[in-house]
Amino acid sequence: MLVGVSVLLEILDEIIARVLASHREPGPSHHLVDEGFIGELRDHADRVRRGDLSRAPELRVLFLPTGPLGDIAAGDGWPDRYLELAARFDSALEDPALRGEPPEAPACPGCRRRLERRTLRRSEKTWGGGRPERPELWWNCPQCDWLGFQRDEGGRLRPMRRMQGDWADCDFCGSEESNIVSETWQEPDGELRDWVVCLACARSNPRRVRRDGTDDGRGE
């Protein structure tokens, strides 16, 4: 689930709980809430939970300070909390990932040219029939062939390089010369590791790296 979606759901859940309380207890806002309104809010929450944001513009209207939620909050004594939630709601909806916009391409660490997005899809299909993408953002340089990824948009660019010899072939899918490897890093216990990814089937696995420099496909 996208971070933006879980934020929206958290806010909607709190709003629904507060509105339900207004509905159940006789108070200044009691007359503003009926079953229909609660049903509408729940319907919005269900859609967001499924990742369907097609009715987000209507939700935005519901959240306007002059809208019904603002009136209920004012009557029941939580106008400040309401404004806080409405502001968070608006900024969550501004999240580019939520609006389906492509991430911005960073400059190549090697030659400063703008990198091109590369998608790594898994070879096994899901129940829905699609081939899911790896969760990282993968980038390729059209000029110097730099290859690497970011864990999140705007995050550090992590270089990968092509493996050598037999190591370049994937054990999982049998594809040849498709394996790439990360830089090594040290675990807290002193162990050296790296991470191998197959460009053909998108499977990955971490490896233990030997310190004696014997050939392990990393090349020079």
172 binds Zn ion per the rule CB under 5 A: yes
201 binds Zn ion per the rule CB under 5 A: yes
Encode 148-165: b = buried (16+ Cβ within 10 Å), e = exposed.
bbbeeeeeeeeebbbbbe
Q: Is 19 exposed, middle or buried (0-12, 13-18, 19+ CB in 10 A)?
A: buried
Structure tokens at 6: 């879980």
Region binding Zn ion by CB under 5 A among candidate stretches 2-10, 183-191, 198-206, 207-215: 198-206
Q: How many positions of this chain bind Zn ion (CB under 5 A)?
A: 15
Q: Are 111 and 141 in contact (CB under 8 A)?
A: yes
- Between 33 and 141, name the residue whose CB sits nearer to Zn ion: 141
Amino acid at 60: R
Q: Are 31 and 23 in contact (CB under 8 A)?
A: no
Among 170, 180, 181, 197, binds Zn ion (CB under 5 A): 170
- Between 93 and 197, name the residue whose CB sits nearer to Zn ion: 197
110 binds Zn ion per the rule CB under 5 A: yes
Distances (CA, A) of 210 to 81, 179, 191: 56, 18, 9
146 binds Zn ion per the rule CB under 5 A: yes
Minimum Å distance from CB 179 to Zn ion?
8
Among 144, 155, 166, 176, binds Zn ion (CB under 5 A): 144
Binding site for Zn ion (CB under 5 A): 108, 110-111, 113, 141, 143-144, 146, 170, 172-173, 175, 198, 200-201
